[in-house]
Amino acid sequence: MGWEKIGVLILAAVLIIFWGPRALRAARNAPKGTAEDWKGFLIPILLVIAFVIFLIMSVR
Amino acid sequence: MYDNQSVTSTRGRESVLATNKVLRNTYMLLSLTLLFSGLTAYIGMRSGIYLGVLPTLLIYFGLLFATEKTADSSLGLIFVFALTGFLGFTLGPILSFYLHTPQGAQMVMTALGGTGVIFLGLSGYALTTRKDFSFLGGMLVTGILIAFLAGLGAFIFNMPGLSLAVSAMFILLMSGLILFQTSQIVHGGETNYIRATVTLYVAIYNLFLSLLRILSAFSGR
């Protein structure tokens, strides 16, 4: 393992230490979405997935 | 009664005006930073300088931290251009690599156009439906951390399959981030246009790179 990969490994550890607790706190304190909210999110996301599949087909 | 209604109506109008101002400033700054990073990407391509993963990440996090700390002052504008200019510059060698592959130019243009369509479509959806996507906040923070760490793992342990899975994850997470950030501006959850610009810029940047990676992998080149 080269010096750069060791450096990236250290950076990953630093991220887990500093960002990890913040991420957990944010996940715990975030408002919970209703079924209707999630439906409003899933529709555009499914359209994005369909569009990406279309782009993949177009470059094959 | 009339006075109360009048005060409420005036406050409501002020709030809408403030939201529109943040939205206008965000899209204006986002356009300028995208143009600027296009220029620095060209410089990066011409120079052929490749910084490496670790220096790129260290400079990126340094500039991101500086932008975050100065976002409430005019100094934040300098850092936002430094950050987006730097990210554009790091795109240079990547674009150069893809452009030298067979039909690479077509792939880059497809990824660029695809990114534009996804960004405009999702922003338009959040703006017209005015849905509140604040419930995505926790999932996005956790998801981005996991995807980022998985991406670092793929780099450290040379796992192209994991790298591809991370790209797919990033497309979904960045799409969610665009919805979340746009809805935050619309609902007054984000009142700082510098922070909003950085979030949207990073989402577009990651969306473009992830799309390019996926298209390249599935095109078999």
Instruction: Report pLDDT for A19.
Output: 82
In 3D space, the residue among B206, B201, B205, B199 whose CA is nearest the CA of residue B184 turns out to be B199
- The pLDDT value recorded for residue B94 is 94
Q: Do residue A9 and residue B156 have CB atoms under 8 angstroms apart?
A: yes
CA distances from B210 to B111, B129, B204 (A): 9, 27, 10
CB B165 within 8 A of CB B149: no
Please report the pLDDT score of residue B20 as a whole number: 85
* pLDDT reading at B10 higher than 90: no
Q: What does the pLDDT average to over B8-23?
A: 75
- Tens of pLDDT, residues B38-61: 999 999 999 988 888 899 999 999
Between these two residues, B195 and A18, which has the higher pLDDT value?
B195
A39 touching B (Cβ < 8 Å): no
Block residue for tokens 């709030």: B15
Give the model's confidence band at B193: pLDDT under 50 very low, under 70 low, under 90 confident, else very high.
very high
Residue B136 pLDDT class (50, 70, 90 cuts):
very high
Quote the pLDDT of residue B17: 77
User: Average pLDDT of B135-147?
Assistant: 92
Are residues B135 and A48, on separate chains, in Cβ contact within 8 Å? no
A35 and chain B in contact, CB less than 8 A: no
Residues of A in contact with B53 (CB under 8 A): 4, 8
